[in-house]
Structure 1
């Protein structure tokens, strides 16, 4: 039996991703790899990360969740849509990276972006989503897809929750009662002074700040073993990333 691994935000850090998967995790074809989104926007290898993931999926069992930055880059590739806010928050690295790709390569990337999943639920009632969901009856009842890759309220609720409240209590948040575990990225745990994946209530946050001064992290979702790349910025010493 292989492992089931969940990978946090990457943000164009291809050097760190390769180091993590091949040198630290030593991933094999028996493993299942669930990527939690935000493959692009940050370091200079944004477009190259997508090319690498397309090739990786030919040999490995991969599930790709859609992140907010992936959606922004996808919209850019489809329509040329650019906003100042996106450019400031890492979009320039994707614009620059895609300027170097052929039209054939871009078409392959468009198919990759289109095929991403907003969320994934495994056979053990565990949810994998980039950011969160807001509907009290679960993600399949959500009115708008954007919440899956933009929402922060799920994580904010988890970190503010009284750790002594029982899951069976009528006051326990309904969204946290639906799944046995939830695995997310999107909000770096470095914002609360952490550098490793953080567990709050039933949520595991695996975004360890790769876009800034942190690492890319992998979590074995069964054993909870963690592997991390070197801090991504150390592998791109001549770049600013989103710092």
Structure 2
């Protein structure tokens, strides 16, 4: 049976991403894989992550969303404070993965990739987004919240009872499993693959959620 799967916040952890997709999830030709943004920055191989997504797109149904780090990388082309902010937030590692210290030497096709990314998807039972939604307004209108919010409140009246599945705010993998088990309306599937720990909480996992069965599969980071 075709599956609808979601992975968030790869952050240049290409080896872990490949291991999860190919060996653990065993992606099939009739599956749909939703990617919830933040492909670049902080990890060792941002270039390889984008290359692998483009490879997957040639053979599978891949629906990729934009994350705040992807947008920051694009905006860094403008230079000035936007470049400085990106560089300090993980852009230095991204440049290194491209073998350059000059963002303008990154081939245009990688910025074209960012331009193809959507902000959210709606499925039969969920809304998928990078960070979340602002339900104080019609939630489809606040595009900044989709990339940046840390507010995990869900207005089920606006979503017509559908859950919100997102990344952006790293959680321990066991907390994600508990949220799923308890039937939470808001489920963050970012298990901080690129981090060893964050705020004292163990991280370092990449997860994949089956959107129909709500079964979570995950791997530990294998880059180092």
Q: How is 1:1-243 mapped onto 2 (pairs within 5 angstroms)? A: 1-76=1-76, 78-80=77-79, 81-83=82-84, 85-99=85-99, 106-122=107-123, 124=124, 126-142=126-142, 145-153=143-151, 155=152, 157=153, 175-179=155-159, 180-190=162-172, 194=175, 196=177, 198-199=179-180, 201-213=184-196, 214-229=204-219, 231-232=220-221, 235-237=222-224
- What do the CA deviations read for 1:5-52 (whole angstroms, capped 9, x no partner)? 011211100000000000000001110000011111121101110111
Aligned to 1:170: none
Indicate the SS of the match to 2:175: coil
TM-score, normalised via structure 2 length: 0.84
Consecutive unaligned residues of structure 2, counting only runs of 5 or more, are 197-203
Name the CA distance, whole Å, in 2 between partners of 1:197 and 1:114.
35
Distance 1:24 1:125, change over 3 A: closer
Structure 2 CA distance for aligned equivalents of residues 220 and 110 of structure 1: 29
CA distance in 1, matches of 2:177, 2:206: 10
CA distance in 2, matches of 1:108, 1:86: 19
Decide which structure has the larger Cα Rg and report it.
1
Q: What is the aligned length?
A: 210
Aligned-CA RMSD value: 2.5
Aligned in 2, Cα 1:125/1:196: closer, same or farther, shift over 3 Å? closer
Contact (CA 8 Å) 2:12, 2:49: kept in 1 or not? yes
Residue deviations 1:56-94, cap 9 Å, x none?
111110111111111111222x334412x4333322111
Matched-pair contact (CA < 8 Å) for 1:189–1:198: no
| Separation in structure 1 between the aligned mates of residue 49 and residue 99 of structure 2, nearest angstrom | 15
User: The residue matched to 1:194 in structure 2 has which SS?
Assistant: helix
Q: What TM-score, normalized by structure 1, do the two folds share?
A: 0.78
CA–CA distance in 1 between the matches of 2:22 and 2:133?
Answer: 32
